[in-house]
Amino acid sequence: MSFVALDLVPLLAAMLACLACGLVGNLLLLTRQSLLGDAVSHAVLPGIVLAFLLTGSRDAGPMLAGAVLAAFAAALLVGLVVRAARLPPQAAMGIVFTGFFALGVVLLEAGVGRRVHLDLDHVLLGQLEALVWPAAEGWHSLLDPAALAALPPEIRLIGAVALSVPVVLAALWKELRLLAFDPEFAAVSGFAPRALSALLLAVLAVVCVAAFWAVGAILAIAALVAPPAAARLLARSYRGQVLASAAVALAMGAGGVLLAGALPWLAGWGFGLSASGMVAVAGGVLVAAAALLARARESR
C-alpha cells in the first residue's frame, strides 16, 4: 500500500516533469538561452496566480494560458529593455523575471494563495510529497478506474505535458534544429524563425507549469538545464544530445525522489527529506559526473 499510495505519484511526477523540461532545455542550451528558462520559470508564477484570481478554478486550461501569456509578456519586456535601453540581455532578464516573480509573490500573499491552496513554500521549494494518492491500495489500483479517478490532478497535467512535448519536438525535429543552429538561414529558407521561437516559448511556459507543480518555480531551472548540460558533455551528435538528455532527466527525477526516501530510512531518521530539493541535487551531481567522465575521455 504505502509505496503506491505515497511514493509512486511523486516519483512519476518528478521523472515526467524532468523529462519534459530537459527535452525543451536542449534547445535553450544549444542557443545559449539557458537564462530564458530561468526567466520563464519565474515569470509563469504571476500568470498562474492571475489565472486563479480571474477564473477561481484550479483547472489546467486557464493556468496554462496564464503561464503562456506571462511568458510572452516577459519576453516582450526583455526585448524592449534590451533594444531601447541597450542593457545586456542578462541584466534585462534579471530585471524582468525578478519583477514578475515579486508580483506573483505579492499576489499570492495578498490572499489569493489561501483560496487556491498554494503557499509560498510550495512555490519556492516544491512539494512533491504533497502528491499522494490515498485511494490507492496497491499496484492493482493502477487498473481500478475509481482509484485512478482519485489521482491528484497535478499528475494528470504533468503526464499530459510529458506526452505532448516529445510529439511537438519530433514533429518539428529538423525545423527546431535549424532554428537552433542558424536562425538567419532558417529565415531565408522560409522556416519562420519568429513563429518557431514563439512556439518554443509557449512550450517552455507549459513545461515550466508542469515542473512548477512537481518541484516548484526555482528548482524547475534544474530540470531545464541539468539534463541538456550533462548530455552536452557526453554526446557528439544532435540525436545523441536529445537522447542523453532524456536519460539524464529520467535519472535525476527518479534518483532524487528515491534518495530523498532512502537516505533518512538508511540513517534511521524519523523524517523525510525534501524530494524536490533532492531532484535538483541529483541533477547537479549528474552534471558533475558527466564533466568528470568527459575529462577522463579527453585525456585518454
Partner 1 sequence: MWEALAFRAGHNAAVVALGCIVFGLAAGAVGCFVLLRGRALIADAAAHATLPGIAAAFLLALPLGLDPRALPWLLAGGAVTALLGVVAAHALASSGRVKDDAAIAVALSAFFGLGAVLLSVVQALPVAGQAGLSGLLLGRAAGMTAADAATMAAVAGIALGLLLLLRRPLAALLFDPLQARLAGLPAGALDAALLGLMLLVVLAGLPAVGLVLVVALLIVPAAAARLLVVRLPAMVALSAAFGAGASHLGVALSASAPGLPTGATIVLVALAGFLLALLLSPRRGLIAAFRRQAALMAAARAAAR
Partner 2 sequence: MSPAPVPLPLPALSVRGLSVAYGREPALWNVTWHSPPSGLVAIVGPNGAGKSTLLKAALGLVPRLAGEVRFFGAPLAAARRRIGYLPQRAAIEWDFPATALDVAAMGRYPRAGWFRPLPRAEREAARAALAEVGLADLADRPIGELSGGQQQRVLLARTLAQEPDLFLMDEPFAGVDAATEEAILAVLHRLAEGGRCVIAVHHDLSTVPRAFDHALLLNREVVAEGPAATLLSPENLARAYGGRLRAPG
Interface residues with partner 2 (CB under 8 A) are 30-32, 86, 171-175, 177-178, 180-182, 184-185, 187-191, 232, 235-238, 240-241
Centroid of chain to Cα 291: 22
Cβ neighbours of residue 216 closer than 8 Å, sequence gap 6 or more: 122, 123, 124, 125, 126, 127, 276
Residue 101 contact among partner 2, partner 1, none, beta carbon within 5 to 8 Å by kind: partner 1
Q: Does 262 bind partner 1 (CB under 8 A)?
A: no
Q: Of the candidates 219, 246, 248, 249, which one interacts with partner 1 according to CB under 8 A?
A: 219
Interatomic CA distance for residues 95 and 81, integer angstroms:
9
- State the binding string over 14-33 for partner 1 (x if CB under 8 A, else -): ---------------x--xx
Indicate whether 254 belongs to the interface with partner 1 (CB under 8 A): no
Q: C-alpha grid cell for residue 23?
A: 527535452
Interacting partner of 9 out of partner 2, partner 1, none (Cβ under 5 to 8 A depending on kind): none
Identify the sign of the CA torsion 80, 62, 168, 157.
positive
Q: Give CA–CA dist 214/19, Å, rounded.
A: 12
Separation CA 3–CA 9 (nearest Å): 9
Q: Binding mask 133-172 vs partner 1 (x if CB under 8 A, - otherwise)?
A: ----------------------------------------
Q: How far apart are CA 153 and CA 159, in angstroms?
A: 10
The residue assigned the cell 494518492 is: 133
Provide the minimum distance between the beta carbon of 100 and partner 1 in the complex, in angstroms, as a whole number: 9
* Cα distance between residue 292 and residue 300, in whole Å: 12
* Of positions 4, 73, 82, 94, contacts partner 1 by CB under 8 A: 94
| Binding residue (CB under 8 A) for partner 1 from 157, 162, 186, 222 | 222
Task: Decide: is 82 part of the binding site for partner 1 (CB under 8 A).
Answer: no
**Closest distance of CB 263 from partner 1, Å:** 9
Q: Report which secondary-structure segment, H or E, holds 213.
A: helix 193-234
CA 277 to chain centroid, in Å, comes to: 14
Of partner 1, partner 2, none, which one does residue 187 interact with (CB within 5 to 8 Å by kind)?
Answer: partner 2
Give the one residue of 7, 11, 38, 249 binding partner 1; rule: CB under 8 A.
38
How many whole angstroms separate alpha carbon 119 and alpha carbon 247?
32
User: For residues 270 and 138, what is the distance between their CA atoms, to the nearest angstrom?
Assistant: 24
Smallest separation (angstroms) from partner 1 to the CB of 235: 10
Identify whether the C-beta of residue 183 lies closer than 8 Å to the C-beta of residue 163: no
Q: Which residues bind partner 1 (CB under 8 A)?
A: 29, 32-35, 37-38, 80-81, 83-88, 90-92, 94-95, 98-99, 101-103, 105-106, 109-111, 120-121, 124-126, 218-219, 221-222, 224-226, 228-229, 232-233, 260, 269-274, 276-281, 283-285, 287-288, 291, 294-295
